Chains A and B, each alone.
Chain A
Amino acid sequence: MLAESLALSAVLFTIGVVGVLTRRNAIIIFMCVELMLNAVNLTFVAFSRYYGAAGQVFVVFVMTVAAAEAAVGLAIIISIFRHRQTVNLQNINLLKG
């Protein structure tokens, strides 16, 4: 049961990584980051069956932080959109050295 869970988690995580690396749209990248977080959550849950409840406690932490992050992230994306009329990250490189 653990192996399947970890395999699913790995697949989800990889999809998330690939999405972050290949997509341009900030919203989609954001969703892919959420996907990676949830893949990790799944791993925690799977391991908590064997190593106690600490894993499930961590999942709650992660979901809390992810919620806060989603609020801040979406706010930033919206303000970027208001400013630049786009959320395509290729066009946003103000921090260029």
Chain B
Amino acid sequence: MMLLQIAAGSHPLHGTVAEWVWLLPVLPLLGFLINGGISLISAAHVGPSDPDMGHGGEDPAHTDAHAISDAENRGAHGDDHHAVKPHRYAGIVSIIGPLVLGLSFILAWLIFSQMRSVAMTAPFIQRYFSWMPVGSLQIDAAIQLDQLSMLMVLVITGVGTLIHIFSVGYMREDPGYPRYFAYLNLFVFFMLVLVLGANYPVLFVGWEGVGLCSYLLIGFWFSEKANADAGKKAFIVNRIGDFGFLIAMFLLFSNIGVLDFAGVKAAAPGLAFGGALVTAICLFMFLGCAGKSAQIPLYIWLPDAMAGPTPVSALIHAATMVTAGVYLVARSSFLFSIAPVASLVVALIGGITALFAATIGLKQWDIKKVLAYSTVSQLGYMFVGVGVGAYTAGMFHLMTHAFFKALLFLGSGSVIYAMHAAYHHTGSHEDAQDMRNMGGLRKYMPITWGLMWAATLAIAGIPPLSGFFSKDSILGATFERAGHSTLADSRLFGIPGSALLYLVYIFGVAAAFLTAVYMTRMMIYTFHGPNRTGSAEESHLREAPWVMTGPLVVLGILSVVGGWFNLPEAIPIGRVGILDSWLDPVVGDATKRVAEVAAGEAHAAASSELVFILVAVAVAVAGIAFALVRLRPQKLVPAAQSPEEEGFERVLAHKYYVDEAYDAAIINPTYQISKKVLWRGIDAGLIDGLLVNGSSALMRGFGWMGSRLQSGAVGTYAWVLVVGVLAVLGAVTLR
């Protein structure tokens, strides 16, 4: 790679290992090229073949959800029980896939150590080549390394490496093994481009690239229509959000004229505080975030995205890609902090989403769907954090969530792996992801059981696990900002921001309670009580191999200790606020602007923080206790014999019928208008019928009339001639 121009020559990172930052995304790209090449040259068929091969006959109760899990089954175990064979090149792919990520992580860690050893206030920007020189607009292919992107890089490469290793075990017998790793490597490449880009267009390249990889991996087993549809849904819903992001970029360009972060940050103070322009930019940008990070009203694609392989759900749809929206808001904190109304909207949408998704999670039976709604809910928390201007708290929750949610997903993958293996032995067609078919798995999978409990307690917010600290810092910041901040002083639709923020706080606390309930419910139904898998299958349930449980253990440790990186002042059991001071050069100014705190002033009294902590812990404990007391795993029957829910429970089980409402309100009208008006009316009727065929018919009519004159009878011609002559003569003489 050629360095055309080296900027920031005086930067402390100049001439250090940080110069190699371009290698971070290039390593996964190399992995993609190698694995993709292997996938192309190997003659093995891609994707599963006929679903019912070797089982004889079609299952009459073959629902969509069932089909998805079937695909998962074959994905993990191949088509035929007796012909399970790893891919021809599985060995080399298993090495390259995780290796490039591991190297990337090691390099990231080296750069991180270097960054810690120097005092770094300005971002380290590397320009490689001029990408789009258009008039006054100069867009470079440039990388920006600062504390915020470093945090993201560490999360992406660290958690990514673990998930790649897990995938080696989970996907080993899949016929599309090299293709899987090619996509996964490509995803990491784009994700790193997203977080390392030094301007909005480069970020947007990564943003779209991860969307593409998400689409490819959701529809990884594309021969099953439900999976391919889920991929399409994710892609299309994200396009709506991307439209918003693009508009935001256009507005920035037309009003500021630059698109790189440093330039926009420098120009931001010149914009009117809370003005229509900056509010519009932020709201459009947030529309993009709502699409990518699955917030109301664009969250609907994420639960469907569970059609992809489980490690994909862990990496893309829990730990990294879906948090890109949170990252974007934090990255644009210099804009959001001067747009209090937009920030208020972010926090409000985040709060509503957190509560809304948590209620749906209460009644889902598919273990991955529970986790999917949990992810939507936790993303809501992160948006509350960055919305109220507690950018560090939002990023903190992003980090801890990446740990415990990746662990939960990989744990569920391990459970599904075991369930499938068991059902596969007996050739059963039961749903391996339905919790009603699980139960009592603790006996067979003790490691997974222990680690998942750790993650459950972490997400529920039990101290001293990671989720407790991050969630508490968000809720605490929300309450604090409700009392005193630029947000509290602004109004949204005439309602004081202060009241709305108190409402968001209540939503957050309620969602925390529900989180504890549905996570405990998931654990009880999966691991406790009697086993409902089936007597023939029970003996085949066993723990996954070490290549899968190993990453779980590492994530388990991180889920426990992850919160200690940013201890609140109220609990000074170690160094306080490491992450706060780490991110301070990037988001510190914006945070203080929102909180209306003068530089140097302490942000909150430790005593009031203690009250929030006690409330949070009480709520979490109450949720877990409620679930433990109310739920009776002994009464549960396998999925096939379960009755439909009644009343409000049915509404929850059907996810508030939002998909159906969108179908009726948007998709179906669009489809019908497209079909009946645009296609039949405009295209076939107006353009084809009237304009094209109509003009030809008109000309043909004239021709027909002309041809009628040519009777071929000489007498007629003579008559016409004579009449004509007489007419001329008459006209001449009578003039």
Contacts and interface: CB of A to CB of B under 8 A. Distances in A.
Do the two shown chains form a genuine complex with each other? yes
B710 A90 contact: no
Interface string B694-724: 0000000000001111111111001100100
B715 A21 contact: yes
A80 B710 CA distance: 20
Interface string A17-31: 100110010000100
B701 to A, nearest CB: 14
Contact of B708 (A21, A29, A97): A97
A17 B262 CA distance: 99
Contacts of A29: 714
Nearest to A90: B713
With most chain A CB atoms within 10 A of its CB, the pick from B707, B708, B718 is B718
A65 B591 CA distance: 110
B718 A93 contact: no
Interface string A61-97: 0000000000000000000000000000110111111
B714 A92 contact: yes
With most chain B CB atoms within 10 A of its CB, the pick from A20, A29, A97 is A97
Contact of B712 (A17, A21, A97): A97
Interface string B631-660: 000000000000000000000000000000
Nearest to B725: A17
Interface residues of B, number: 13
Query: In which size bucket is the chain A interface?
Result: 10 to 19
A20 B718 contact: yes
B706 to A, nearest CB: 7
Nearest to B708: A97
Contact of B706 (A17, A21, A90, A97): A97
A20 B288 CA distance: 87
B713 A93 contact: yes
B715 to A, nearest CB: 6
A17 B718 CA distance: 9
A21 B711 contact: no
Contacts of B711: 93, 96-97
B714 A89 contact: yes
Interface in A18-69: 20-21, 24, 29
B710 A96 contact: yes
B710 A95 contact: yes
Contacts of A24: 715
Given A97-B706, A97-B707, A17 B714 contact: no
Contacts of B712: 92-97
A68 B551 CA distance: 112
B722 A21 contact: yes
Contacts of A95: 710, 712
7 contacts: A21-B715, A21-B718, A29-B714, A89-B714, A89-B715, A93-B712, A97-B711
Given A21-B715, A89-B713, 19 more contacts: A17-B722, A21-B722, A24-B715, A29-B714, A90-B713, A90-B715, A92-B712, A92-B714, A93-B712, A94-B712, A96-B710, A96-B711, A96-B712, A96-B713, A97-B707, A97-B708, A97-B709, A97-B710, A97-B712
**Which are the 10 A-B pairs with shortest beta-carbon distances?**
A97-B710, A93-B712, A96-B712, A97-B707, A95-B712, A93-B713, A89-B714, A20-B718, A21-B718, A96-B711
